[in-house]
Structure 1
Amino acid sequence: MTANPLLRSCALIGLLGAGVFQSALARDYIEHSLDGDVLNLKLSDAQVTLTPLNDSSIEVHYQREGIKQLPSFAIASTEHADVDTNLEETPKELIFELDGLTAVIQKSPFSIQYLRDEEPLIREESGFFATETIRGFRFTLDEDEKLIGGGQRVLGMDRRGKRLPLYNRAHYGYTTESEQMYFSLPAVMSSKKYVLLFDNSAAGHMDLGASREDLLQFEAMAGRTAYIVVAGKTYPKLIENYVDVTGKQPLPPRWALGNFASRFGYRSEQEVRDTVDKFAEEDFPLDAVVLDLYWFGPDIKGHMGNLDWDRNTFPQPQKMMADFKERGINTILVTEPFILTTSKRWDEAVENNALAKDLAGEPKRFDFYFGNTGLVDVFSEDAGDWFWSIYDGLLQQGVGGWWGDLGEPEVHPADTVHKIGMADEVHNGYGHTWAQLLHDKQTARYPERRPFIMMRAGFPGSQRYGMIPWTGDVAREWGGLKPQVELALQMSLLGFGYTHSDLGGFAGGEEFDRELYIRWLQYGVFQPVYRPHAQDHIASEPVFHDRKTRDITREFVKLRYRLLPYNYTLAFENSQSGLPLMRPLFFTDESNPDLIDYKDAYLWGNDFLVAPVTDAGIDEVTVKLPGGVWFDYWSDELYSGSDAEVEVDLETIPVLVRAGAFIPTIDDITTTRDYTSKHLTLDYYAHPTAVESEGYVYEDDGKTVDAFQRDRYTKLQFAAKRDADGIQFHFDREGGGYQGEPAERSISLNIHNWNMANSTIAVGDQPLEILDRERDFQRATQGAWLDKRNNQLRVKFQWSNQPLTLTVSH
């Protein structure tokens, strides 16, 4: 990238002084007009359109004659919702007011400042600029402002002071430092609770106070000259406003939250079958098997682009996938957008006008690691139709989901001509458009099927196409594990709530490191997708390791499945509001700016606090606490204050539960297809500080598209209120229900931190017997037992889905 002369000019502009640059770009207001709620401005050197996208978001699009514009990739809908606006004019200003965001437009010299409830958020410095080779924007930054964003980088949570390349590029074998990776995002989230997004897919940079500490500068060599400002009063509300603009992630199939068998790669049908059998033999739940590139060829090189089964090694793929489906196991295939000239489809791709062109208008050919190749032009309708026809055929054979690899694209010569522009104009929009192609065509063809689309590169808004990103070819060492929380949080805060890592690490590794492997798989229970994956000289699957490794990891994989009610509810919340599954600690304590920098622990949903163990030989971990009281999930030990010293052994990592939380679990199952809440366990963490609390479980059949909107769901709602006499629990149910829902549920309520022997319990107005012995309690269908050893009151009762009150008095 640094060899590109246009990007070198970007860097030079980043070093220009503000005075020189502003004098070159001084502009004045001439006139304005309103088109509904859209404000159009005529300036001395450009046209500017301010389009409200919701009550707290505005798109600002500068256009100047002679500067090519591309369509928006980031905005979800071309038809924005009606927004109430108010426009006031003074001799010096225009004030364009939305309910949650105000643009104050200075007429001369022209600039725009943004406020939320009269609080200044961000202001254009010289604003829009454009030369023959570069275009972009400049904004001022406050002295104490922190900035999250830029996508996948290993730089620390606050990216202030960094200059970030914007060019999706693979970083093989990365560890604790990386300035440029697979998935760059031209967007930042500020500690002042705004998001600034540059809707431009071209190669460029974001300078976040590196060249001048009070300046944020976006630079691109081409592309759309537009930015979007989003505001919110809280971080969750800010994210909700942001995904309202860029699109919400659809709820994936429930099996996406299960355990995956995956490696680079399975070389035959028999090897895949043997692997699936090994998971069953070793009593590991399993929901998916992922086939890497050997499904279409016997070697790494020379076969990419075949996009069809190698029948020598996979003689009966349809039967194999059908057999797996009978067992509740889905098959995911890797595909790449490169069609090698040695592949079986090269001539077909050329005939169907599916490939990007060279400057002479012929299919562009170039060499990369896998061979001499062309690149599918996903921006072309002809190419999309051809590419989709192959995917559709595989879906009809029984494929369950897609793994789109190398979609940065990994190699993308600058002289490649796409339907809508040159390679460097659209590079960062390539993976985004590939995902859109798969999502839109699959949902049109199979409207009742939730897509599964895993890809490693995209653009802001790619989440609306169901994109599930991972963090690329991480090194299989402790340094590879260390940055995974940072990477996931950075992506999740800007819409990509399913960002996850190759559990165990992917690249390299001389020999199996049991401790590292176990620690990575333990962390995986509390990340969005559970997929161990690696180069196959060391097995990525836990079933092929020693007994101790199997025994420890088996319990964590089973815990992942027991937590399905909790995890699927997080997925539902993400589909409704964009709230990430993994959340930074500053969500809980927004008044503590230091927590923004903290990347050693995170919240899994609202009620778990997780700190992965990322060093060898650790028996104690210091965990920052975001206020409140927390319980150790394994021992019930209590923690409060600013830090917790949590003891661990090889069988545990620090997992804490918020006081007042309801943690729902189900009995062990072998595949998510067998999910049922007929027997539902609720662990409630009682504490005097938790006076009132509530929670819920969202359920549907795990596969119906838009189940919530179609009223084919159930919400099981729980609430607790504590007073001097005890705790009163309320249970309720909402929704039209779903096929297979239990008509009645057996509830096991475990009240932690409760040791009062004189308690009385009533379900409604009916007393519940407190049994003397654990054995009698285990045999009973309802009743209670005081577990004095563990300081818990255990209660069983039947719930027929009607409103119910349970009272524990002392």
Structure 2
Amino acid sequence: MLHSATPILRSADRPAVPAPKRLALLVGLLAASLAFGPQAAAQNAARTFLGWQSGPDGVLQVTTSDGRYLIKPYAADIVETSFVPRGQQDTGTSHAVVLAPGQVAATVKEEAGRVQLATGGITVTVEKKPFRISYAYKGRPLVAEKRGYGHAGKLESIEFALDPDEALYGAGARAAGMNRRGQRFTLYNKASYGFGKTAAQMGYGIPMALSSRRYAIHFDNPQSGYLDFDSRHDGTLRFETIGGRKTYQVVAGDDWAQVMDGTTRLTGRQPLPPRWAFGNFASRFGYHDEAETRAVVERFRRDDIPLDAVVLDLYWFGKTVKGTMGNLAWDRDSFPHAEQMMADFSRQGVKTVVITEPFVLTTSKRWQEAASKGVLATGKDGKPFTFDFYFGNTGLVDVFAPRAQDWFWNIYKELKAGGVAGWWGDLGEPEMHPSAARHAAGSADEVHNIYGHQWARLIADGYARDFPQERPFILMRSGYSGSQRFGMIPWSGDVGRGWGGLQSQVEISLQMGMQGQAYMHSDLGGFAGPVLDDELYVRWLQYGVFQPVFRPHAQESVAPEPVFREAATKALARDAVRLRYAMLPYNYTAAFDNSRTGMPLMRPVMFEEPENDMVPVGTIATTYLWGSDLLVSPVVEPGATRQEVYFPKMAGRADSVWFDFYTDKPHRGGIVETVRPVAQHIPTYVRAGAFVPLAKVVHSTSEYDGRELELHYWHDASVNEASGKLYDDDGHSAHAFEDGNYQLVRFSGKTRDGRLEIGLLPQAGARAAVVERRFALKVHNVGARPRAVEAGGQALPFTWNAERRLLEVSLPPLRQAPLQVAVTL
């Protein structure tokens, strides 16, 4: 049924903001404060409400004088709104969204001059006069369209009104400050060579805005444009694009965990990477030949530094940087026995990763093949489009064309058959992408931002089809919303080798994790520039222990591998690598959580404490949470002897305590404290009540079996009940959890009546073999020698270190039955 109303015309919007900066800011704040009130003005002076109808699919259609709004509920906390201008059809498809709409009950009602669509969480209110669309979550106002859809010059836009105190995050990978409000970001993926403390444009321009009010708006359109986070200081969030869909999704939640869950349900979860991806990588630009590559791997073994992968840059297919890109086959002069080399590495637990690029130079060995098979982007004449860039005269693989996808995948498949275990996709913005190039899916500017996304997809699809039981490793410099669902591992690009480069990395990774890309990481030590700074190198690697992928990489002018650094630096680097391996069970469990819930591995402090009247928690990027229980504060200044750390208050606890991970010194939550860094490690803390499983250090993750672990628990009187878990599987099967081929151990802690009770509950999937695990339990912060330790009614021998306040006890083997440990304090 169509419900109509008489069209009402509105007067023009508010007058322009005066020029002086202070007055402009005041006017902007006033405009934003009115956004949810009766003075919020019409979204568009010429837009009037004509009528509405709702269908059995739950979609609310609102007809206006200039088009139609289609409002679709996806879930209780997710709703989509599309505007279709008059005379157009909503024929666009999403490259980001995988969640199907209509899976939640929604009601539509009309009353008091408005139409409302309501789920169990989000309510969309369409005011008739003046016309306005606003969103609320469980009665809490979120955001409202301001002018809504508009068209000026060559850009179309969608505008929203912001609250004056609202902080904004998102827009992809940038180094622009944690709160990005006040800036306008270009949505055009572009590398930032040698960047330092700031970088306004990088390889991941994601059209998503997240708010401190705990909602996200995802603009479902990949075309080139801008995302304006109130750069005019008039209280406006503005998405601008050259064309395409006028569609966005609003995701809301009670807390940040729910927002992360919603955004990754919408665009897809990151599958669990292979376990070896959590080990140490040997990588540089680049290893020139087989002998050099073998020598490097051997050096790691000789120096007793664990290693899981070696990465080959472009010399694997050519002797020179220029002129050979596109060969995509082993240079047999330099790598005469590549397959044997990779097999030898594999027996040592070392995987081989090779670089590939989407450019096929006219001087490469595959040019004629690529041109004749029609796998390249074309010009308006239909012939392969060629252009010059740094590496030579080139064409570009059209990853959107099915025949090109098959051609490219068959190359990967052949290399995989020879022993390649992982893929590095470089220059995938693409680094050079002339507007005149045409692809099967549209012009260069229309598809530019999804080029890397589609490239990763064709590799992931190839694995799903031809190697369905394997987890791919896909390292990419560029991507888009939802790229995580292809198993893409992003990195921040060619960062400068300097302290500024290190300083920007936490912010970049935190922001990307909030947008679903939880494995964003950096070239440890920095990439660009002939800088030999051992302190910088060590501090970067120490930070790398607590970032998603541990991969030192740099130009070869200064060796990025720890085995080539001087003795003192090598020793500190070795300690960092070994700690990374010791933390494998904790890190792998955090990765499992990400694959199930979307919670990133690196989490902003505000995830723990969303609001604080005294401390701007929403702007903190110097300290962050690693997984659910560790708090990390990297050292990013040379010669640092003092460092300020904010210890967040823990949700739901009146008293919050954090312990130094290395010394067990307690720190009270809710305060900023000045700490003194030491050379051996960066400041790291663990929450009271945390369970942290640690492993024996192995030469590579291929030797890891998780059968003998340390289980650390940080006891404190402020924690009456605690929980944690350990996740484990074979480390390589693509759907281990879904197939029931996994093991879980759930930990619990309870303090009452002078007793600490620690429970271990083993669980396993239907197809999992029974695993016997032995835990060496280490309880921290035990102030006096316990009177007894028991398990299953039997007394257990234990040791207690008075100086360290540490209780240690070896537990009975854990198989299928739960184990309850009682410590009489």
CA–CA distance in 2 between the matches of 1:720 and 1:738? 29
| 1:71 CA drift (Å) | 2.0
CA–CA distance in 2 between the matches of 1:328 and 1:427? 38
Cross-structure match for 1:5? none
SS in 1 for 2:207: strand
| 1:153 CA drift (Å) | 1.2
Deviations for 1:415-454, whole angstroms, at most 9, x for unmatched residues? 1111121111111111111111111122111100111111
| 1:515 CA drift (Å) | 0.5
Q: Tell me, which stretches of 5 or more residues in structure 2 are unaligned? A: 1-15, 32-39, 650-655
Structure 1 residues 549, 790: CA separation in 2 closer, same or farther (over 3 Å shift)?
A: same
SS in 2 for 1:529: coil
CA RMSD of aligned residues (A): 2.0
TM superposition score normalised by structure 2: 0.92
| 1:573 CA drift (Å) | 0.3
Cross-structure match for 1:493? 514
Structure 1 residues 447, 108: CA separation in 2 closer, same or farther (over 3 Å shift)?
A: same
1:619 aligns with 2:641: yes
CA–CA distance in 1 between the matches of 2:240 and 2:138? 30
CA–CA distance in 1 between the matches of 2:46 and 2:219? 20
Deviations for 1:219-244, whole angstroms, at most 9, x for unmatched residues? 00122221111111100111101100
SS in 2 for 1:185: coil
| 1:741 CA drift (Å) | 6.0
| 1:167 CA drift (Å) | 0.8
SS in 1 for 2:798: strand
| 1:24 CA drift (Å) | 5.5
Structure 1 residues 634, 178: CA separation in 2 closer, same or farther (over 3 Å shift)?
A: same
Cross-structure match for 2:449? 428
1:601 aligns with 2:637: no
Deviations for 1:528-560, whole angstroms, at most 9, x for unmatched residues? 000000000110100111111111111111111
CA–CA distance in 2 between the matches of 1:71 and 1:367? 33
Deviations for 1:103-147, whole angstroms, at most 9, x for unmatched residues? 111234433110001111010111112356221201100011111
Q: Tell me, which stretches of 5 or more residues in structure 1 are unaligned? A: 1-11, 769-782
CA–CA distance in 1 between the matches of 2:249 and 2:162? 16
Counterparts in 2 of 1:304-319, with a 5 A limit? 304-319=325-340
| Stretches (4+) displaced over 3 A | 15-25, 66-70, 737-742
Cross-structure match for 1:746? 774
SS in 2 for 1:722: strand
Cross-structure match for 1:703? 732
SS in 2 for 1:664: strand
| 1:40 CA drift (Å) | 2.6
SS in 2 for 1:266: coil
| 1:199 CA drift (Å) | 1.0
| Residues 26, 126 of structure 1: 8 Å contact kept | no
CA–CA distance in 1 between the matches of 2:410 and 2:237? 44
Cross-structure match for 2:544? 524
1:803 aligns with 2:823: no
Deviations for 1:539-587, whole angstroms, at most 9, x for unmatched residues? 0100111111111111111111111110000100000011000001111
1:446 aligns with 2:474: no
> Of 773, 788, 793, which residue of structure 1 is paired with 2:802?
788
> Of 591, 594, 604, which residue of structure 2 is paired with 1:574?
594
| Residues 58, 102 of structure 2: 8 Å contact kept | no
| Residues 427, 477 of structure 2: 8 Å contact kept | yes
Output the amino acid matched with 1:645. Answer: T
| Residues 607, 658 of structure 1: 8 Å contact kept | yes
Cross-structure match for 2:343? 322
| Residues 666, 676 of structure 1: 8 Å contact kept | no
1:712 aligns with 2:741: yes
Output the amino acid matched with 2:563. Answer: V
TM superposition score normalised by structure 1: 0.94
| Residues 43, 131 of structure 2: 8 Å contact kept | no
CA–CA distance in 1 between the matches of 2:262 and 2:228? 25
Cross-structure match for 1:340? 361
| 1:787 CA drift (Å) | 1.4
1:653 aligns with 2:682: yes
CA–CA distance in 1 between the matches of 2:604 and 2:684? 15
| Residues 435, 465 of structure 1: 8 Å contact kept | yes
Deviations for 1:260-318, whole angstroms, at most 9, x for unmatched residues? 01000110011111111011000011111111111110011001111111111011111
CA–CA distance in 2 between the matches of 1:67 and 1:39? 16
Cross-structure match for 1:481? 502
CA–CA distance in 1 between the matches of 2:71 and 2:102? 14
Output the amino acid matched with 1:182. Answer: G
Output the amino acid matched with 1:633. Answer: F
Output the amino acid matched with 1:789. Answer: E
Deviations for 1:192-231, whole angstroms, at most 9, x for unmatched residues? 1110011111111111111243111110012222111111
Output the amino acid matched with 1:389. Answer: N
SS in 1 for 2:812: strand
| Residues 189, 195 of structure 1: 8 Å contact kept | yes
Structure 1 residues 276, 222: CA separation in 2 closer, same or farther (over 3 Å shift)?
A: same
CA–CA distance in 2 between the matches of 1:106 and 1:312? 72
Cross-structure match for 2:790? 762
| 1:27 CA drift (Å) | 3.5
Output the amino acid matched with 2:780. Answer: H
Deviations for 1:735-758, whole angstroms, at most 9, x for unmatched residues? 22776763x222111111113225
1:686 aligns with 2:715: yes
CA–CA distance in 1 between the matches of 2:327 and 2:92? 32
| Residues 497, 581 of structure 1: 8 Å contact kept | yes
> Of 116, 119, 144, which residue of structure 1 is paired with 2:165?
144
Output the amino acid matched with 2:700. Answer: T
| Residues 69, 225 of structure 1: 8 Å contact kept | no
Cross-structure match for 1:6? none
| Residues 296, 310 of structure 1: 8 Å contact kept | yes
Identity of aligned residues (%): 44
Deviations for 1:157-178, whole angstroms, at most 9, x for unmatched residues? 1011111111111110011122
1:291 aligns with 2:312: yes
Cross-structure match for 2:658? 630
Structure 1 residues 80, 688: CA separation in 2 closer, same or farther (over 3 Å shift)?
A: same
CA–CA distance in 2 between the matches of 1:70 and 1:293? 38
Query: How many residues of Structure 1 are paired with residues of Structure 2 in the alignment?
Result: 781
Cross-structure match for 1:774? none
Cross-structure match for 1:778? none
CA–CA distance in 1 between the matches of 2:257 and 2:565? 41
Cross-structure match for 1:588? 608
| Residues 384, 437 of structure 1: 8 Å contact kept | yes
Output the amino acid matched with 1:796. Answer: S
Counterparts in 2 of 1:198-277, with a 5 A limit? 198-277=219-298
Output the amino acid matched with 1:56. Answer: D
Output the amino acid matched with 1:575. Answer: S
CA–CA distance in 2 between the matches of 1:738 and 1:752? 36
CA–CA distance in 1 between the matches of 2:129 and 2:412? 55
Output the amino acid matched with 2:721. Answer: E
Cross-structure match for 2:652? none
CA–CA distance in 1 between the matches of 2:783 and 2:47? 73
Output the amino acid matched with 2:457. Answer: Q
Cross-structure match for 1:559? 579
CA–CA distance in 2 between the matches of 1:500 and 1:176? 15
SS in 2 for 1:236: helix
CA–CA distance in 2 between the matches of 1:453 and 1:547? 34
| 1:98 CA drift (Å) | 1.1
CA–CA distance in 2 between the matches of 1:737 and 1:525? 34
Cross-structure match for 1:644? 673
| 1:21 CA drift (Å) | 10
CA–CA distance in 2 between the matches of 1:208 and 1:522? 34
Select between 61-70 and 343-352 the one with higher mean Cα deviation.
61-70
Cross-structure match for 2:4? none
| Residues 295, 314 of structure 1: 8 Å contact kept | yes
1:404 aligns with 2:419: no
Cross-structure match for 1:771? none
Structure 1 residues 25, 254: CA separation in 2 closer, same or farther (over 3 Å shift)?
A: farther
Counterparts in 2 of 1:4-23, with a 5 A limit? none
CA–CA distance in 2 between the matches of 1:198 and 1:746? 49
CA–CA distance in 1 between the matches of 2:177 and 2:594? 24
